[in-house]
Amino acid sequence: MRIKIYHNPRCSKSRQTLQLLEEKNAQLEVVEYLKQVPSKTELSSVLSLLGLSPRDLMRKGEAVYNELGLSDENLSNEALIKAMLENPILIERPIVLANGKAAIGRPPESVLDIL
């Protein structure tokens, strides 16, 4: 089974999720999304698989969220996706893709449902 994880090594939940996946001896593709920002197509696909709107996948506690005025309900999904691509720290983490499904590793064990 091939598993992709959008990972931030500085995040404890992301590290815990990665460790959990490694214990499953899965074939992992680790994407440090702060260094390898997903494309617009990839991010849109992840949102679709998760069944979330762009705002639902955003880390609202990040300073840049407030600095850019992203709480404005009048912003389009397109504008929110653009903000996430330009500031990937806004993307919730970790995100795991497996078997044509996606899950956010919060808590880390929640990704087990898609394996």
Domain assignment present for 98: yes
Query: By residue range, what is the domain housing residue 23?
Result: 1-33+93-115
Catalytic residue among 11, 30, 89, 112: 11
Strand 95-98, strand 27-32: pairing: unpaired
Our answer to whether residue 102 is catalytic in this structure is no
Taking alpha carbons only, the member of 100, 98, 101 closest to residue 20 is 98
Taking alpha carbons only, the member of 89, 90, 94 closest to residue 75 is 90
Percent of the chain with pLDDT over 90: 96
The tally of domains found in the chain comes to: 1
What are the Cα distances from residue 102, in Å, to 47, 94, 97? Answer: 9, 10, 4
The pLDDT assigned to 2 comes to: 87
> pLDDT tens-digit profile of 2-23?
899 999 999 999 999 999 999 9
Domain assignment present for 23: yes
Mean pLDDT of 90-101: 97
The pLDDT assigned to 58 comes to: 98
CATH number at residue 18: 3.40.30.10
Q: How far apart are the first and last CA of the chain?
A: 8
> pLDDT tens-digit profile of 40-79?
999 999 999 999 999 999 999 999 999 999 999 999 999 9
